[in-house]
Amino acid sequence: MKINIQEIARRSNVSIATVSRVLNNKGPVKPETRNKILTLAKQLNYKPSPHARALSSRRTDTIGVILPELVDEYFMDIIQGIDEEAHLFNKYLMISSSHSQRNDIETIMEFMGSGRTDGAIIMAPSLHDEIYEVIKKSKRPVVLLNCCSSKTNVVSFNIDNYRGARQIVAHLIDHGYRKIGMIKGPDRNIEAQARFEGFHDILVERGLEYKENYVISGDFSLTSGNYGMLRLMGSDDKPQAIFAANDYMAIGAYQAARNLNLKIPEDVAIVGFDDIFTSRIIHPRLTTVHVPVVELGRRALNYLVGMIDGTKDPAESYHEELSTGLVIGESCGCKSK
Amino acid sequence: MKINIQEIARRSNVSIATVSRVLNNKGPVKPETRNKILTLAKQLNYKPSPHARALSSRRTDTIGVILPELVDEYFMDIIQGIDEEAHLFNKYLMISSSHSQRNDIETIMEFMGSGRTDGAIIMAPSLHDEIYEVIKKSKRPVVLLNCCSSKTNVVSFNIDNYRGARQIVAHLIDHGYRKIGMIKGPDRNIEAQARFEGFHDILVERGLEYKENYVISGDFSLTSGNYGMLRLMGSDDKPQAIFAANDYMAIGAYQAARNLNLKIPEDVAIVGFDDIFTSRIIHPRLTTVHVPVVELGRRALNYLVGMIDGTKDPAESYHEELSTGLVIGESCGCKSK
DNA sequence: TTGAAAGCGCTAACAC
DNA sequence: GTGTTAGCGCTTTCAA
């Protein structure tokens, strides 16, 4: 037995229009009629067809989530936040990765154009400016995560990478280190940029000299951290402390330190950024910056739903920065309690 | 300008039926007609409406993926495999977690009934028997991942947990340990069961005594590993080596060992299962079992697509077990190269 | 090879 | 308050 809106209507002795009104809480319906329909629907376990609904109303109750090519722990947590919040709003999640085979933008365009979603959350660590055009042209609202500055004319939610970097580097300075080096992230990555700027600015503000040879570029990978550490420690003018732009690189730096027979933090202090699981396990425990990723995902979805509902103006640009927190380990020189 | 199938038909001077045939590669069409339509469609960047298509053909090109409540690294990798393969088949992925608030089965039923997907991949570490009924009743095909034995009348892809456990415990035995303990996973979890059976059987086969007081239950969490280790090492009759049913618990056991001032592997050897990132970082490096999770996801999706296409019989039950590999660290007593 | 037309199940504008 | 009806965009018989 096929139960669709017609069947419900037939059995309730009303028209399908009335059934539709009840189901969508739209328009006036006599309470008893309403109850009769609701009861029957529940009884027959009737679920409206999402496709029919989408076809006639262009509403899918589905949110697109576009992930970067490399998905690690960090992104998994964001998704968790998105998913939890999506569930509160009865939204479904359609997930797509930017596969290396295909261009980021193509993936995104395809996704947005398909009409499968009411809107999308995009996480792409480094976006071309092109993407902003795509988003502006899109019929459906979009929220960007961690991938654009507040200057861009879009909606975005970000971690306050700049302040996080300042905080942790300030902590190093407070320890008395004067020669502080950094293993940077990829230049095109906006988060990496902000973390570097935070590092740079706090050094200068605190009256320390910023030295180019204390800074080396990595790509957020373990191996690049390892390599960066070898380079920094291979020079005659060695830094006393290293700020790795993320925990993976910090852990790579640990490996290099071990190979060089350098004790952390006695010979060189190391701090990271992201607060991944491994950082809490290794010895000495890594001092790092905690980023509220679950919360980030939550808020992004919440705002996006607002744009879809019309609660928030989708045309208006909006930016929010979530603040980070310091996780004190022993790798900076602090004693364990 | 709205471009739908009608528009394409109008501009090509053919009927929409013909356009539909071309787009779906169904039924005979004169090559030139076909080309004309294809060219025009490309030129206008025409994309068929997935909802209209789904409404009339019940095909969504979307696969549902149901995750367990706790999603870690392990599941992330499975998803990666699923995603990569899905992309090859031009399938979209709709992801849903089993939130703690709601019952596993409810989540699954809802998902399957909604008609949003052509089929689903379900990962639920411990399923009630009830679920098999649900799956059998479902109109859409389902593949289970890591959550049922080959006795069940469904399609499933699994890691060969039993052999993996045998392998790694055999490795411990080869080291000469005679007193081998285990920190088990949750009893209801089928993977945990298989790992325990592997442990048990190889001990017996190799002529070692199986002692109940060498075995303790955990729940796959870090803390339960820590606690289990404390219990095992707190007794008078201490095991010489511990097999933790997963890496998280093995790492928890490391922490306990450290607190007890026990050296690994000199005082006690520890091995794990899963080969997570952290296991390769910690010292001594954890000897563990590598599980081909990306491949698992790939195969599952591939098979599911077959069932949807009709290549594979959805009514027939099928089971596949992927074999594991040993990752030798130093925690078992092996020397690093 | 091609076209006409009947759905697929629902929403929303309009009429009563 | 409720019913009628015209789509939404596509697939799929059935005829031609």
Report pLDDT digits (tens) over B43-81: 999 999 999 999 999 999 999 999 887 667 778 888 889
Question: Where do the structural domains in chain B lie, given as residue ranges?
Answer: 5-48, 62-160+293-323, 161-291
The whole-number Å distance from A58's CA to C9's C1' is 14
Of the listed ranges A102-116, B82-96, B188-202, the least confidently predicted one is: A102-116
Query: A80 touching B, CB under 8 A?
Result: yes
Q: Quick check: A283 and B278 CB within 8 A?
A: no
Q: Which residue is nearest to nucleotide C6 (CA to C1')?
A: B56
Assign B337 a pLDDT band (cuts: 50, 70, 90). Answer: low
Which residue, B2, B36, B7, B3, is CA-closest to B22? B36
Q: Mean pLDDT over residues A231-260, rounded?
A: 97
How high is the pLDDT of residue B76? 83
How high is the pLDDT of residue A21? 95
Q: Please count the residue pairs, one from chain A and one from chain B, whose beta carbons lie less than 8 angstroms apart.
A: 99
Does the nearest atom of strand D lie within 7 Å of B12's Cβ? no
- CA–CA gap between residue A138 and residue A125 (Å, rounded): 20
Bridge-based pairing state of the strands B142-145 and B155-159? parallel
How high is the pLDDT of residue A101? 58
A35-50 pLDDT per residue, tens: 999 999 999 999 999 9
A155-190 pLDDT per residue, tens: 999 999 999 999 999 999 999 999 999 999 999 888
Nearest Cβ partner for A93 among B80, B95, B283: B95
Mean pLDDT, chain A, whole residue set? 92
By the 8 A CB rule, do B62 and A68 touch?
A: no
Write out which nucleotides of chain C lie closer than 7 A to a protein Cβ: 1-5, 7-13
- CA–CA gap between residue B259 and residue B226 (Å, rounded): 10
* A34: nt with nearest C1' to CA: D1
Of the listed ranges A121-125, B106-110, B301-305, the least confidently predicted one is: B106-110
SS3 B122: strand
A47-60 pLDDT per residue, tens: 999 999 999 999 99
- CA–CA gap between residue A85 and residue A293 (Å, rounded): 13
Query: A15 touching B, CB under 8 A?
Result: no
Query: B115 touching A, CB under 8 A?
Result: yes
Q: How many CB atoms neighbour CB A214 within 10 A?
A: 22
How high is the pLDDT of residue A138? 86
Of the listed ranges A299-313, B70-84, B197-211, the least confidently predicted one is: B70-84
Reading the block at residue B123, the tokens are 């990962």
Q: Mean pLDDT over residues A55-81, rounded?
A: 87
Nearest Cβ partner for B51 among A51, A72, A97: A51
B15-49 pLDDT per residue, tens: 999 999 999 998 889 999 999 999 999 999 999 99
Query: A263 touching B, CB under 8 A?
Result: no
How buried is residue A43: exposed, middle or buried, by Cβ count under 10 Å (0-12/13-18/19+)?
exposed
Assign B146 a pLDDT band (cuts: 50, 70, 90). Answer: confident
Residue entry with tokens 């940077």: A184
SS3 B288: strand
Q: Mean pLDDT over residues A85-98, rounded?
A: 91
- CA–CA gap between residue B2 and residue B25 (Å, rounded): 24
CA atoms within 13 A on the CB side of A194: 20
Q: Mean pLDDT over residues A129-149, rounded?
A: 84
Assign B156 a pLDDT band (cuts: 50, 70, 90). Answer: very high
Assign A147 a pLDDT band (cuts: 50, 70, 90). Answer: confident
Q: Which residue is nearest to nucleotide D9 (CA to C1')?
A: B52
Q: Name the DSSP class of B134.
A: H
Distance from CA of A75 to the nearest CA of B (A): 10
Assign B179 a pLDDT band (cuts: 50, 70, 90). Answer: very high
Q: Mean pLDDT over residues A268-294, rounded?
A: 96
Residue entry with tokens 């744009």: A307
Within B 56-115, residues with CB less than 7 Å from strand D:
56-57
Q: Which residue is nearest to nucleotide D7 (CA to C1')?
A: A56
Q: Mean pLDDT over residues A69-92, rounded?
A: 87
How high is the pLDDT of residue A121? 95
How high is the pLDDT of residue B102? 61
pLDDT at A146 over 90: no
Say which residues have a Cβ less than 8 Å from residue A144's Cβ, sequence separation at least 6. A121, A122, A123, A124, A127, A135, A154, A155, A156, A157
How high is the pLDDT of residue A85? 95
Tell me the percentage of chain B whose pLDDT exceeds 70: 97
Q: Quick check: B60 and A47 CB within 8 A?
A: no
Architecture of the structural domain at B62-160+293-323: 3-Layer(aba) Sandwich (3.40)
Within A 53-92, residues with CB less than 7 Å from strand D:
55-56
Assigned CATH for A5-48? 1.10.260.40
Query: pLDDT: is B90 or A109 the higher one?
Result: B90
Q: Quick check: A55 and B60 CB within 8 A?
A: no
A100-109 pLDDT per residue, tens: 656 777 778 8
SS3 of chain A: the string is CCCCHHHHHHHHCCCHHHHHHHHHCCCCCCHHHHHHHHHHHHHCCCCCCHHHHHHHHCCCCEEEEEECCCCCHHHHHHHHHHHHHHHHCCCEEEEEECCCCCCHHHHHHHHHHCCCCCEEEEECCCCCCHHHHHHHHCCCCEEEECCCCCCCCCEEEEECHHHHHHHHHHHHHHCCCCCEEEEECCCCCHHHHHHHHHHHHHHHHCCCCCCHHHEEECCCCHHHHHHHHHHHHHCCCCCCEEEECCHHHHHHHHHHHHHCCCCCCCCCEEECCECCHHHHCCCCCCEEEECCHHHHHHHHHHHHHHHHHCCCCCCCCEEEEECCEEECCCCCCCCCC
Distance from CA of B54 to the nearest CA of A (A): 6
How buried is residue A109: exposed, middle or buried, by Cβ count under 10 Å (0-12/13-18/19+)?
middle
Write out which nucleotides of chain D lie closer than 7 A to a protein Cβ: 1-5, 7-13
How high is the pLDDT of residue A100? 64
How high is the pLDDT of residue B6? 95
* B53: nt with nearest C1' to CA: D10
CATH class of B161-291: alpha beta
What's this model's pTM, rounded to 2 decimal places?
0.93
Domains A62-160+293-323 and A161-291 share a fold: yes
pLDDT at A200 over 80: yes
CA atoms within 13 A on the CB side of B170: 14
* A59: nt with nearest C1' to CA: C11
How high is the pLDDT of residue A337? 64
How high is the pLDDT of residue A39? 94
